[in-house]
Amino acid sequence: MAFFLETLLGGLMAGMLYSLVALGFVLIYKASGVFNFAQGAMVLFAALAMARFSEWIPVYTGMDNLFVANFLAFIGAGVMMFGVAWLIERLALRHLVNQEGTTLLMATLGISYFLDGIGQTIFGSAIYKIDIGMPKDPIIAFESLFEGGILINKEDLYAALIAAVLVALLTLFFQKTVTGRALRAVADDHQAAQSIGIALNRIWVIVWCVAGVVALVAGMIWGSKLGVQFSLTTVALRALPVVILGGLTSVPGAIVGGLIIGVGEKLSEVFLGPYVGGGIEIWFAYVLALVFLLFRPQGLFGEKIIDRV
């Protein structure tokens, strides 16, 4: 029982990180109705900015306080992501208002390649590390309940808590604020939203800024765990099954989908892997996403769209 709970907790913590990355896809889709293929590049760009700023600030300021240096690096990277969001809206999206979804999709592909290139040009292409002070030593919990206790990775626990707080704040933002409701209106119908006075350009800037912050937090956490390198863009691919499972238009769906896939990966690898030679964790999420595409393509919480002709 203790081993099962240990695996379950590991899956839940991994699932929260998947949910965080998936939120970037959901945010952009809710505002523009297009799948944002640039999300992985945004995670890499934000992580590169955070890693390099945290290196440069102590060198050029003589500061030896890790917390303050990381805080300033986070602020600097956040400002840079806001600048990226503004430029994307100003130079690309503003000229594509009311265009077909395919056009917007291709625009995000172009943005992805641009961010990949310019990020490595500015910050370099080596492998960098982000040290945000999260403890990496495991702890033994619930020793009084289970013999030997349950082994919990502190870094994964802290990362999951950070992701959970951000997810909760974004959920409140969408459900309780005027801007959040405006975002949902824009996602439903661009022209109708404009007709009632919603400034589409302003909404797109806001949502790309929020998605940039999400990418920054995700890049910071994944960079701390795996190091900042080009392969970080593939983290976004791990979130694709999450948004398919939860629904492209649902913030709660991104959360639930991430938790289901995180737990499913861990449990299947541990309990089924030995019977099939292992490796289930690599493809489990994609097979589950395929099943949902066949039987419930809108996902668990997505809206079923019916076209009447």
- Domains of the chain, residue spans: 2-295
Say what the pLDDT of residue 3 is: 75
* 169-203 confidence digits (pLDDT tens): 887 887 788 877 777 777 666 677 777 777 777 88
Burial 134-164 (b: 16+ CB within 10 A, else e): beeeeeebeeeeeeeebebbebbbbbbebbb
Interval 68-82 mean pLDDT? 90
In this predicted model, what pLDDT tens digit does every residue of 13-57 receive, in sequence order? 888 888 888 888 888 887 767 778 888 888 889 999 999 999 888
* Fold exhibited by the domain 2-295: ABC transporter involved in vitamin B12 uptake, BtuC (1.10.3470)
- How much of the chain exceeds pLDDT 70, in percent? 94
Output the 3-class SS for 132-183.
Answer: CCCCCCEEEECCCCCCCCEEEEHHHHHHHHHHHHHHHHHHHHHHHCHHHHHH
227-277 pLDDT per residue, tens: 888 777 777 777 888 988 988 877 788 888 888 998 888 888 888 877 777
pTM of the model as a whole: 0.85
305 pLDDT above the threshold of 70: no
Residues 209-234 have pLDDT tens digits of 888 888 898 888 888 887 888 777 77
Burial of 8 (0-12, 13-18, 19+ CB in 10 A): middle
Q: Model confidence at 79, in pLDDT bands (50, 70, 90)?
A: very high
